Amino acid sequence: MERIFIISCLLIAISLGTSCIDSKIENAEVKLVTAEEMQSILELEDAQVVDVRTKKEYDEGHIENSQNIDYNSPTFDEDIEKLDKTKPVILYCKGGTRSAKCAGKLKDAGFEKVYDLDGGLSKWKHTNKLKLEVKS
C-alpha cells in the first residue's frame, strides 16, 4: 500500500512539473519588445500593429498605421479572427496589461508570432522612438 502511495505521489509530481514547463514554453512565444525592436520588426516584416485600447483612447493618439481592436469590446474575439494568423502581430495598450492579456488570446487562437510593446504607450510616448498620430 505504501508503495502505491509513493508511486502516485511521483506521478502527480511529474504531471505538475510537466504542465509548468508547458506553460513556460507557451508564455515564451509572446515576446516583449521595446519601441526600437518594434520599429525593426516593422521594417523587416509585414507586421500588423494592433492597439487594444478603447476607441476613445485610440482617437486621442495612436501609433501610425495601427488598427484599433478594443480588448474590452463584446466583439473582440470576432475582430481578432479577421487578422492574418501567419503575419506577426504587435500589440500595445496604455500600460501593457490589456495587451498582455490579448497576447495570450492570440496565441490560443493560433497566431504564429505575437509581440507585446513593453510598458505600453505610457512608457514610450514621450520618446522619439514611436511614430504617433496625435489628435490636434
Tell me which amino acid residue 21 is. Answer: I
Give the tens place of pLDDT for each residue, 7-31: 655 556 565 554 444 433 344 489 9
Give the tens place of pLDDT for each residue, 101-132: 999 999 999 999 999 999 999 988 778 878 78
Residue 15 lies in a domain: no
Beta strands at 61-63 and 132-134: parallel, antiparallel or unpaired: antiparallel
Return the pLDDT at 126.
Answer: 78
Concerning whether 102 is annotated as a catalytic residue, the answer is: no
Contact between 57 and 92 (Cβ < 8 Å): no
Total domain count, the chain: 1
Please give the residue range of the domain that contains residue 65.
30-134
Residue 12 lies in a domain: no
Residue 128 lies in a domain: yes
Residue 72 lies in a domain: yes
Return the pLDDT at 23.
Answer: 39
The CATH number of the domain holding residue 60 is 3.40.250.10
Burial of 127 (0-12, 13-18, 19+ CB in 10 A): exposed
Which of 9, 20, 93, 102 does the annotation list as catalytic?
93
Burial of 135 (0-12, 13-18, 19+ CB in 10 A): exposed
Contact between 117 and 125 (Cβ < 8 Å): no
10 vs 133: CA distance, rounded Å? 57
